[in-house]
Amino acid sequence: MKISKIKTNNKSNNYFIYIGNDTLGLLAKKISLSCPSAKKIAIIYDGKIPTKFKKKIIKDLKKYEVFYFKFDSSEKNKTIFEANSILEKLLHHRFTRSDVILGVGGGIVGDVSGFISSIFKRGLNYISIPTTLLAQVDASVGGKTAVNSKFGKNLIGSFYQPKFVICDVKFLTSLPRRQIISGYAEILKHAIIKDKKFFNWLKKNSVKLLSKKNINNYIYPILKSCKIKLNFVNKDLNEKKIRMILNFGHTFAHGIETRTNYSNKINHGEAVLIGMYLATKLSYIKKICKKETLDELIKIYKTNKLNYDLKKYFKNNDIKQIINIMRNDKKNNDKNINFILLKKIGKTTLPGEYKLPVGEISKNMSRLLN
């Protein structure tokens, strides 16, 4: 099957993202080309990855000295302490800046692997193999790396680009529906903020997509999502302005995730689905979008049985705490909360256009939830 590839276009490092079915066969050749002086490879991997995939990854890496670091992939473990543990082991094994870190897993493994690569001796070769739908459409583009703090999600991090990314849809066969929905949330977000035509495609194809009957059905939406995200990233690599549009729904979502203490109660995609609904409802309340726009979003949620009810997970006191947590979001730089709101499907407000006081959010919360 044909392998699609996208080239990034940024000042710090241009790299290719390879997307298709059975793309893992490219790995050894691409390492040799992009990291010709490498002698050692540290594979940081999610322990939940099926053995058949791990064997496929390492079979062509025999010329390298390979070290394995199994990572318990949870937001609770995505800390500076866990990252430091791996950093110490890399130093013990005498890794140099010519060597390679290979991150194999979902977004959490990608965040940690990329972060470690960015700070180890001020920069180690990093290669990403995202294994979840969420990671393939989100973490594969943009170079964001981070670990969590008790004060919030992804507050300690850096921007660091990989040498290349391999997205193989074969990994998706091992994912439960909940993980597929998590990735679908980011695909849907990309359509909502930038591409009405793609949104209409999702309306027609989402039920089939979420059924997971044919993994090749994912190639087009992954490719399309990466292109939409790149459109923002290439213009604003370090998220100073226009790239913040990609955070649509995420101000609410990160508050939701932090309030659960990053438990399995709700995953990132599920939080983003709720966050996008709340941001769109807020847009309607503030008369930024029409009721038809909110109804379009609700319809695609209901058709695909996607939850958007925050009260399913939280009591009133929890919701107050979520609002307080949102104040610490890294995109806020004063006493107000920055929101990306929706004008219509395919078009949002600009970053910094809507800064709302915490009190105003609290005042409107009952309307948002009903």
Q: Is the pLDDT score of 317 beyond 80?
A: no
Tell me the pLDDT tens digit for each residue of 220-254. Answer: 999 999 999 999 998 888 788 899 999 999 999 98
The pLDDT value recorded for residue 1 is: 62
Rg (CA), the chain: 20
The mean per-residue pLDDT over the stretch 348-358 comes to: 88
The pLDDT value recorded for residue 325 is: 83
Of the candidates 89, 110, 108, the residue with the CA atom closest to the CA atom of residue 42:
89
For residue 332, what pLDDT band results from cuts at 50, 70 and 90?
low
The matching CATH number, chosen from 3.40.50.1970, 3.30.1360.120, 3.40.250.10, 3.40.50.720, for 4-174 is 3.40.50.1970
Token duo for residue 47: 């322990």
The pLDDT value recorded for residue 360 is: 81
Whose tokens are 């866990």? That residue is 82
The pLDDT value recorded for residue 330 is: 59
Is residue 220 packed enough to be buried (19+ CB in 10 Å), middle (13-18) or exposed (0-12)? middle
Measured between its terminal Cα atoms, the distance across the chain in Å is 48
Residue ranges of domains in the chain: 4-174, 240-369
Token duo for residue 283: 């847009």
The pLDDT value recorded for residue 361 is: 79
Of the candidates 2, 81, 77, the residue with the CA atom closest to the CA atom of residue 46:
77
CATH superfamily of 240-369: Dehydroquinate synthase-like - alpha domain (1.20.1090.10)
Tell me the pLDDT tens digit for each residue of 48-76. Answer: 999 999 999 999 899 999 999 999 988 88
Evaluated on CA atoms 320, 323, 328, 329, the torsion sign reads: positive
Largest CA distance in the chain: 62
How far apart CA 88 and CA 111 sit, in angstroms, is 18
SS3 label, residue 61:
coil
The mean per-residue pLDDT over the stretch 152-172 comes to: 94
C-beta atoms surrounding 12 within 10 Å: 12
The pLDDT value recorded for residue 171 is: 95
How far apart CA 155 and CA 214 sit, in angstroms, is 37
- CB 297 within 8 Å of CB 280: yes
Torsion angle of C-alpha atoms 46, 169, 115, 149, degrees rounded to 10:
-70
C-beta atoms surrounding 88 within 10 Å: 10
For residue 323, what pLDDT band results from cuts at 50, 70 and 90?
confident
Helix or strand (DSSP H, E) at 44: strand 40-46
Q: What is the mean pLDDT of the chain?
A: 91
Is 240-369 the same fold as 4-174?
A: no
